[in-house]
Amino acid sequence: MARSHLRIYTGPDANADITTIDHSVRKATVTVPLGDLVATLVDAHQQGRIWVKDFENEEVTIPTDLYEIVLAYQHYHRPSA
């Protein structure tokens, strides 16, 4: 059986061209239409996909008007006691 040769990545090579290394600390972002995202998230949640739980504490940025609508919906759509 062939032996695996795994290496641990410890960062860029010391000999790397310093001008090609981006040292800024920022998260990668993607802009997508909400409609494209919602259906997939709802389906994944209903199917009990574990990756949904993995991201449940992640913060997302939404427009203020959408946030206000979500708050109003939550307020008026409370389950009956």
Q: Is residue 56 part of a domain?
A: yes
Q: Is residue 6 part of a domain?
A: no
Q: Is residue 18 part of a domain?
A: no
The DSSP symbol for 15 reads T
Q: Is residue 46 part of a domain?
A: yes
Q: How far is CA 62 from CA 14, 38, 72, in A?
A: 40, 13, 15
Count of domains in the chain? Answer: 1
The DSSP symbol for 18 reads G
Instruction: Tell me what pLDDT residue 18 has.
Output: 53
Q: Is residue 14 part of a domain?
A: no
pTM for the full model?
Answer: 0.53
Q: Is residue 45 part of a domain?
A: yes
Q: If you count DSSP H runs as helices and E runs as strands, how many of each does the chain have, helices first?
A: 3, 0
Q: What is the pLDDT of residues 47-81, one digit of tens each?
A: 999 999 999 999 989 999 999 999 999 899 877 65
Structure tokens at 8: 């641990």
Greater pLDDT, 23 or 38:
38
The DSSP symbol for 80 reads P
Q: Which domain holds residue 71?
A: 29-76
